[in-house]
């Protein structure tokens, strides 16, 4: 199973639709689940929290809803994809799916409810729910190495990713959004 996190920053790119086409083609040969980033919807949550000074727990819940909004948009662009709310639903569909996170995620104890956990860590958590899965992070930023501490310090992955990865390491790679030829096997290996 291939879990593919499409960074929210792809929202602003012409390449987004090309990636969706590529993932649709890939899903003909293996189970693919798209994890949406938060995109401009999560940016609005950050702005609202800064303006209105509310706590991280509520902001985290709103950011999950932002991922769901982006996921709905992705499904509108890719109607062949099925929305799934939980990892268990993927097993029964095992076709091209888009994770539609909801408030059930707030009950998961290993996911702290603050900005240290963003869609990167949530994609990792989702992938960790399967015995045989791999994760690809499609991002608009480049990296020269897969060192998790370095990527976290540079803000390329969120601060919670490293600890979550070390709990249950899985095959993870990062691919620049303008390098689709590196998908599905030739991204920068993280670890």
pLDDT tens digits for range 52-66? 999 999 999 999 999
Q: What is the pLDDT of residue 59?
A: 96
> Is the pTM here over 0.85, yes or no?
yes
Residue closest to 75 by CA, chosen among 19, 2, 20: 20
CATH number at residue 132: 3.40.1160.10
Q: pLDDT band at residue 104, thresholds of 50, 70 and 90?
A: confident
At 160-191, the pLDDT tens digits run 999 999 999 999 999 999 999 999 999 999 99
Residue 56 structural domain: 2-189
Number of domains present in the structure of the chain: 1
Spatial strand order in the sheet of 171-176: 82-84, 97-99, 32-36, 2-6, 134-139, 171-176, 188-189
Rounded Cα–Cα distance for residues 63 and 118 (Å): 8
Vertex 162: Cα angle to 160 and 166 (nearest 5)? 120
Are residues 125 and 110 in contact, defined by beta-carbon separation less than 8 angstroms? yes
Quick one: pLDDT at residue 94? 76
On average, the pLDDT of the chain sits at 95
Q: What is the mean pLDDT of residues 157-161?
A: 95
Can you tell me the distance from the alpha carbon of 121 to that of 116, in angstroms, rounded to the nearest whole number? 9
């Amino acid at each position: 199973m291939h879990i593919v996190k499409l960074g929210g920053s792809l929202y602003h790119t012409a390449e987004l639709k090309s990636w969706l086409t590529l993932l649709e083609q890939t899903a003909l040969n293996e189970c693919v689940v798209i994890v949406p980033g938060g995109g401009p919807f999560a940016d609005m949550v950050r702005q609202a929290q800064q303006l209105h000074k509310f706590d991280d727990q509520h902001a985290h819940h709103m950011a999950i809803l932002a991922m769901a909004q982006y996921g709905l948009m992705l499904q509108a662009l890719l109607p062949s994809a099925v929305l799934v709310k939980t990892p268990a639903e993927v097993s029964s569909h095992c076709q091209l799916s888009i994770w539609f996170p909801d408030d059930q995620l707030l009950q998961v104890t290993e996911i702290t409810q603050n900005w240290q956990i963003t869609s990167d860590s949530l994609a990792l958590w989702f992938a960790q729910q399967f015995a045989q899965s791999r994760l690809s992070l499609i991002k608009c930023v480049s990296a020269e190495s897969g060192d998790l501490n370095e990527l976290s310090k540079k803000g390329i992955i969120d601060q919670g990713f490293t600890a979550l990865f070390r709990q249950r390491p899985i095959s993870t790679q990062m691919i620049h959004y303008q390098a689709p030829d590196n998908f599905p096997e030739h991204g920068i290996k993280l670890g």
